[in-house]
Chain A
């Protein structure tokens, strides 16, 4: 099954596709999704000179996004397992890879941003919102859960990371005040 067939089937019959497709069969498509998505993100970042050029720079971004997704898929699966839902963690991770394809929209949006029609940050937020919605849609089918629970499971790791960041930030500010006082 080629990549376009996988994506078109996922778009047309997501429930059917997720139920009957084995994780092994999704592997190539999932990783190609990661590859294309992260490559688009990298090109977008290069357009705005946020990251340096070169294969090592791309590898950095690629591995970072892969690691984040691995963490998100793992923690989401763990949370869902703990609350009684059953599903396949590997399949979830690979489906996340397919949702990464939404980053390809960043390229045309990047041109618009270059022409000052859109702020670059808004482009990223837009794509991220699409990705999150797609992930909720896929996760609720994979684990047979409600949309609300899928949203909760997906947002929980984000919430933990953001809360951790703000706690660290607040502590750092207090520490700085203590230092200069």
Chain B
């Protein structure tokens, strides 16, 4: 059948193979290279056998080489492999001493934990822990450009810095950009030193709780909200009605307590008397230069000055090698999420952020 096909489909032309007679294999012999039935075939087989032997030898040699390579890799210190992984994760593979820079930009909130790429307080805490655990990192710079955020999120980062300092004994330097007020300053207070630009807006030490009331508007449009509650304070902060004096008093107690925590944290971190801190903490903002005079910051300078200071504190000198702890995958997913609004998460989060909450935050921006 195949031979029939060959004959029927054989194209004309000089390049096409010679036509085959539609007969038995024996009849095809003349069309193939004739008069070489035994010797060339025997020679080819001999060559093939030689190649097979050489192949077997080379395979055996390859196995020896591969086994030696594998055993050498196993015998090597494990840190070498980990170094490769770190290189993939954005941190340098070299073991040279360095200063890690951790950015804290924007409003500080606890974000959706189901999204690993969200840049919430959890993400910052993770980076602080990772940087503190790395042997080659001799000091850590927190590059802060934030007006603060929710109390819980700010305190989580503050706590992570305090714990990392205690466990790793590594110096922390805070560097202020445009704004590092309220919660941004709270986090910086845990650091060993603070470097700010002369024009940086900082301070705003205090707590805020704001809630809008739509009661007047609802009365106008004839809308009424019915709330069934287990206790009289269960719907405290509800925008559907005006706040009662009792609720105001209770909330003021909350504000006073969290304010006290803030002041204590600043006093402990900055090693300043509590009274002095309280005097400075009426919620006002300061420029970097004013904050230096008030001893709320230690030095005026830019990021390079902060890095140099961190290098000196970490005993690796000025102009140190810098590790920017940025996870490329996390960043990429974050960009995609922000562009496409995957899962509608950003809209939900924005709506959630509108709800009343205690905040170490400056609302000037």
Q: Which residues of A contact B44 (CB under 8 A)?
A: 8, 11-12
B5–A87 contact, CB under 8 A? yes
Identify 28 residue pairs between A and B in the complex whose beta-carbon atoms are under 8 Å apart, listed by A's number. A8-B41, A8-B45, A12-B44, A16-B28, A16-B29, A19-B2, A40-B59, A49-B69, A49-B73, A84-B9, A86-B9, A88-B2, A104-B55, A107-B55, A107-B59, A110-B62, A111-B58, A140-B17, A141-B17, A143-B9, A144-B11, A144-B16, A144-B17, A146-B13, A146-B16, A147-B15, A149-B11, A179-B335
| A47 lies within 8 A of B62 (CB) | yes
Q: Which residues of A contact B66 (CB under 8 A)?
A: 43, 46-47, 53
B167 interfacial by beta-carbon distance below 8 Å: no
Which 8 residue pairs spanning A and B have beta carbons closest together?
A86-B5, A8-B44, A20-B25, A16-B32, A107-B58, A146-B15, A8-B45, A13-B32
Q: Is there contact, CB below 8 Å, between B58 and A8?
A: no
Count of A-B residue pairs with CB < 8 Å:
103
CB distance from B251 to the nearest CB of A (A): 43
Residues of B within 8 A of A (CB): 2-3, 5-6, 8-11, 13, 15-18, 20, 25, 28-29, 31-33, 36, 40-41, 44-45, 48-49, 51-52, 54-55, 58-59, 61-63, 65-66, 69-70, 73, 335-336, 339
Complex contacts, A104 vs chain B, CB 8 Å: 51, 55
Residue of B whose beta carbon sits closest to that of A180: B335
Within 8 A of B (CB), among A104-162: 104, 107-108, 110-111, 114, 140-141, 143-149
Q: Give the residues in chain A near B13, CB-CB below 8 Å.
A: 146
A85: interface (CB < 8 Å): yes
**Nearest A residue to B339, CB-CB:** A179
A143 to B5, CA, bound (A): 8
Given known A16-B32, A107-B55, A144-B10, contact A8–B48 (CB-CB < 8 A): yes
Contact of A43 with B62 in the complex, beta carbons under 8 Å:
yes
Distance of B1 from chain A, by nearest CB (Å) = 9
The distance in angstroms between the C-alpha atoms of A160 and B25, with both chains bound, is 39
A residues less than 8 Å from B61 (CB atoms): 111
Distance between Cα atoms of A151 and B11 in the complex (Å):
15
Interface size class of A (residues with CB under 8 A): 35 or more
Chain B residues closer than 8 Å to A180, beta-carbon distance: 335
- What is the chain B residue whose CB lies nearest that of A13? B32
For the complex, is A174 an interface residue (Cβ under 8 Å from B)? no
Q: A16-B32, A179-B335, A179-B336 in contact; A107/B11 too (CB < 8 A)?
A: no
Please name all residues of chain A whose beta carbon is closer than 8 Å to the beta carbon of B16 when the two chains form the complex: 140, 144-146
Chain B residues near A55 (CB-CB < 8 A) = none
Which residues in B have their C-beta under 8 angstroms from that of A147? 15
Cβ A146 vs Cβ B11 within 8 A? yes
Contacts of B36 in A (CB 8 A): 12
Q: Is A4 an interface residue (CB 8 A)?
A: yes
Distance to closest chain B CB from A29 (angstroms): 12
B32 touches A145 (CB 8 A): no
Assess whether A15 is interfacial by the CB under 8 Å rule. yes
Chain A residue at minimal CB-CB distance from B70: A53
How far is the CB of A52 from the nearest CB of chain B, in Å? 10
Considering the complex, which residues of chain A in the window 57-94 have a beta carbon less than 8 Å from any beta carbon of chain B?
84-88
A5: chain B residues within 8 A (beta carbon): 45
- Given contacts A7-B48, A49-B69, A180-B335, are A12 and B41 in contact (CB under 8 A)? yes
Instruction: For residue A162, give the distance in angstroms from its CB to the closest CB of chain B.
Output: 26
Residues of B within 8 A of A46 (CB): 62, 66
Distance between Cα atoms of A88 and B40 in the complex (Å): 28
